[in-house]
């Protein structure tokens, strides 16, 4: 099993969108994928879960000794081989933020997230894809450290490109000498060559010494959100989008 965390402490860069799209790509390759929504906005949950959410991730976090909860928090989606551990929105009684503030950093809860990953592994899942919130809370740190790989998602804008070095330092500091999570790929999102600013930035991105994936701006993503469908179940995806998503999935499977 490989646990991958799509992260950026900035909002609106495409974390949720690309987590879903990469999950769609992996299941189309026959992989068994579990999505983990750790964002109190619950956008990923909204994409995949209709109706009331009975159990959410926070139910396990607050009662981690109750191992029977695992089978309750994992939900099937309408897609074969795609599962999700959802979140409830705050307005629906969601408690993930409460956990992030109160429990996540405490000594006695140090093993809660690693134990969750171990239990998920026993369910014969190939990939856990984690959709992170735009923050850097104690919970976010625990999740990052329990992941095998972190893949930052950045937008092709000045601040993202300028901030790459700090982003790297932030994650290295968090790892504190540990080998995990691996950090060797970047996804740059929303390429749009009509803007001269992006044309300049893309030249700079070329020089970054990491594996890079460049996802174009594609209206399929808004359509997918509106219809709550995976882009793989829809028509009209740009060839360039499809190509980069296939490449990401192939590389993830190769590294497994």
Tokens found for residue 38: 């750790």
Q: Is 5 helix (H, G, I), strand (E, B) or coil?
A: strand
Residue 11 found at the interface with ligand ATP (CB under 6 A): yes
Closest contact distance (angstroms) between CB of 131 and ligand ATP is 7
Residue 17 found at the interface with Mg ion (CB under 5 A): no
Q: Which residues contact 80 (CB under 8 A, 6 or more apart)?
A: 27
Closest contact distance (angstroms) between CB of 244 and ligand ATP is 10
Q: Considering only 8-16, 54-62, 66-74, 109-117, which stretch makes contact with ligand ATP by CB under 6 A?
A: 8-16
Q: According to DSSP H, which parts of the chain are helical?
A: 15-28, 43-48, 57-62, 69-73, 96-102, 112-121, 138-145, 158-162, 164-175, 196-206, 220-227, 239-254
Write the interaction track for ligand ATP spanning residues 185-204; mark x where CB under 6 A is met and - where it is not: ----xx--------------
The interface partner of residue 21, options being Mg ion, ligand ATP, none and the CB cut-off 5 to 8 Å by kind, is: none
Residue 95 found at the interface with ligand ATP (CB under 6 A): no
Residue 191 found at the interface with Mg ion (CB under 5 A): no
Which has the closest alpha carbon to 181: 62, 5, 46? Answer: 5
Residues binding ligand ATP: number (CB under 6 A) = 19
Q: Is 83 helix (H, G, I), strand (E, B) or coil?
A: strand
Question: What whole-number distance in Å separates Cα of residue 207 and Cα of residue 167?
Answer: 17
Question: Of these, 3, 5, 17, 23, which contacts ligand ATP (CB under 6 A)?
Answer: 17
Q: Is the backbone peptide bond immediately before 194 cis, with ω within 30 degrees of 0? A: no
Q: Is 149 helix (H, G, I), strand (E, B) or coil?
A: strand
Question: Of these, 32, 180, 225, 238, which contacts ligand ATP (CB under 6 A)?
Answer: 225
Question: What whole-number distance in Å separates Cα of residue 112 and Cα of residue 38?
Answer: 14
C-alpha atoms less than 13 angstroms from C-alpha of 71 in its C-beta half-sphere? 2
When the beta carbons of 15 and 155 are compared against Mg ion, the nearer one is 15
The interface partner of residue 190, options being Mg ion, ligand ATP, none and the CB cut-off 5 to 8 Å by kind, is: ligand ATP
Write the interaction track for Mg ion spanning residues 29-48; mark x where CB under 5 A is met and - where it is not: --------------x-----
The count of residues in the chain is 256
Residue 15 found at the interface with Mg ion (CB under 5 A): yes
Closest contact distance (angstroms) between CB of 189 and Mg ion is 12
Site residues (vs Mg ion, CB under 5 A): 15-16, 43
Q: Where does this chain bind ligand ATP (CB under 6 A)?
A: 11-17, 39, 41, 43, 134, 189-190, 215, 217-218, 221-222, 225
């Amino acid at each position: 099993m490989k646990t991958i965390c799509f992260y950026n402490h900035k909002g609106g860069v495409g974390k949720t969108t690309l987590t879903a799209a990469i999950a769609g790509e992996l299941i189309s390759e026959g992989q068994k994928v579990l999505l983990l929504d750790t964002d109190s906005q619950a956008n990923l949950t909204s994409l995949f879960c209709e109706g009331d959410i009975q159990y959410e991730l926070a139910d396990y976090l607050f009662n981690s000794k109750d191992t029977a909860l695992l089978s309750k928090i994992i939900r099937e989606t309408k897609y074969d081989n795609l599962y999700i551990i959802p979140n409830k929105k705050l307005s629906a009684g969601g408690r993930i933020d409460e956990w992030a503030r109160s429990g996540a950093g405490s000594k006695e809860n140090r093993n809660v997230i690693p134990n969750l990953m171990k239990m998920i592994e026993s369910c014969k899942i190939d990939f856990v894809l984690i959709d992170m919130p735009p923050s850097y809370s104690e919970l976010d740190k625990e999740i990052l450290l329990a992941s095998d790989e972190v893949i930052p998602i950045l937008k092709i804008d000045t601040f993202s490109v300028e901030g790459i070095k700090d982003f790297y330092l932030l994650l290295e500091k968090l790892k504190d000498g540990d080998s995990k999570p691996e950090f060797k790929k970047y996804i740059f999102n929303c390429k749009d060559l009509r803007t001269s600013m992006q044309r300049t930035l893309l030249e700079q991105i070329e020089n970054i010494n990491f594996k890079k994936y460049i996802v174009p701006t594609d209206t399929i993503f808004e359509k997918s959100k509106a219809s709550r469908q995976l882009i793989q179940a829809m028509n009209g995806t740009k060839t360039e989008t499809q190509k980069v998503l296939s490449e990401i999935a192939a590389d993830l499977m190769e590294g497994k």
